[in-house]
Amino acid sequence: MKLCLKYRINPTEEQEGCLDKLGFYATKLYNTDNYMRREQWDKTGKIPNWYEQKKLLRENHWYKLLPSQTAQAVIKNLQDNYVSWFVLRKTDNDANPPMFRRKDKPSPLTFYQQFSIVNGRITIIMSRKFRTENGINEISFDVGVWRDIKGVPKMCNIIRQGNKWMAHIVYEVPERKLKKYPNTMGVDLGIINLITTADTHGNTKTYSGRQALSIQHYFNKEIAKVQGKSMKQQKKKRTKSTSRMHRHKSRQINQLIHTATKRTIDDAIKHKVGTIVIGDIKNIRKDKHWRKKDSQKLHSWSFAKLTSQLTYKAMLAGIRVVKVGERDTSKTCSVCGVIKKSNRKHRGLYRCKCGNQMNADINGARNILKKYLRESKDSRSIGSVAEPLIWRCSNVVPS
């Protein structure tokens, strides 16, 4: 399996200039490739594949200034963006093709064989054309705090975040042996309740998402104030101040997601859960025409990040992760099986005529679990629901 660790690097002024140049070259290559693909799309209605574009751009000036595999990664990244666009067009006719990148924004730099790590120091190798034009063969960086890991470094992604440079190192680590625990846990992802779990022994828990909503509300309000002043002064909408607040908001929400997912896996280990079943919320944003406030909450939420963090942390713990469709799980009674939308009452309450009355998200998590057990032909029943525990994050506050 692969695991990514983030390190902050400390380039010198000269090295930072080189990284800015490489990022600029990558942006120019990306836009050149995008222009060629759009031309082909207008003429033929088809987009050239990654292999064809790689051959066409091999003699391009920007391509040669980058290490070969870095240049190929830029082209592959655009290819992936077009594939995503084609998939999205099947469900959204208004989906836009990949846009051109801003010229003043350096692109991420991906290195495969052209980097090495020795004694906690990262070294990247320059291309032949870059060496000729700039007289620099390689760049070696100091790293703030190095974290050792038992794995082989396979890829290095260097990204500029504001005034900082970050290196994302992808390691190939040994597969963890799956634990043969008997229990299964269903996971329902949401907004008010970030994560809701229910296992085959009847243990239930909700991880509140209200703290994340408070963080979003606070920063969105502060950003709107700054943008309003900028518009009055006829300045650009995105300023250093708003960019800084966006980063603060992102870091705080990421910390909350990290904490909640870690607690979820810790609970799974505690209750001897061998399989975690996550509700597949693919296309959850599609065709949702709710009130403006609810839509803002939904569209600004990172369900993919929640799923990916739960998945990789479960894999590290030796727990299997599977996905099942969430169709009708919020409307179905987890006790009698009746499907009725009106059973979901206000404030997250689910009430059925059979006498079942419980938190709607816990009801959904139980339905996800039952759906998996039916599909896997597992005859186990789900224990009666214990008094649900509620977890609220206290180590993240808007600032």
Closest-CA residue to 202 (of 384, 360, 380, 389): 384
pLDDT tens digits for range 181-238: 889 999 998 888 889 999 988 889 988 888 888 888 888 888 888 887 766 666 555 6
Instruction: Assess whether pLDDT exceeds 70 at residue 395.
Output: no
pLDDT tens digits for range 30-57: 999 999 999 988 888 888 888 888 889 9
User: What is the dihedral angle through the alpha carbons of 10, 16, 19, 23, rounded to the nearest 10 degrees?
Assistant: 110
Extents of the domains making up the chain: 2-172, 183-391
Instruction: Assess whether pLDDT exceeds 90 at residue 24.
Output: yes
pLDDT of the residue at 31 = 95
Instruction: Assess whether pLDDT exceeds 80 at residue 283.
Output: no
Instruction: Say what percent of the chain tops pLDDT 90.
Output: 32
- Residue 291: what are its φ and ψ, rounded to 5°? -60, 155
Is pLDDT larger for residue 302 or for residue 95? 95
- 358 has which bridge partners? 350
pLDDT of the residue at 321 = 92
Instruction: Assess whether pLDDT exceeds 50 at residue 399.
Output: no
User: What is the dihedral angle through the alpha carbons of 201, 305, 389, 202, rounded to the nearest 10 degrees?
Assistant: -10
> For all residues of the chain together, what is the average pLDDT?
84
pLDDT tens digits for range 92-142: 888 888 999 988 888 999 999 899 988 888 999 999 999 999 899 999 988
List of E strands, the chain: 2-10, 109-111, 115-118, 121-125, 138-143, 152-161, 164-172, 183-189, 193-199, 204-208, 273-280, 320-325, 349-351, 357-359, 389-391
Read out DSSP for 183-215?
A: EEEEEEE-SSEEEEEEETTS-EEEEE-HHHHHH
CATH 3.30.420.140 fits 183-391, yes or no: yes
CB 30, CB 74: distance < 8 Å: yes
Instruction: Say what percent of the chain tops pLDDT 70.
Output: 86
Query: Hey, what are 53's tokens?
Result: 């574009």
What value does the mean pLDDT take over residues 143-149? 78
Lowest mean pLDDT among 110-119, 147-156, 281-290, 314-323: 281-290
User: What is the dihedral angle through the alpha carbons of 53, 58, 61, 65, rounded to the nearest 10 degrees?
Assistant: 110
- Residue 224: what are its φ and ψ, rounded to 5°? -60, -35
pLDDT of the residue at 381 = 62
Closest-CA residue to 123 (of 76, 169, 160, 172): 169
Model confidence at 348, pLDDT cuts 50, 70, 90, reads confident
Query: Hey, what are 218's tokens?
Result: 């606070």
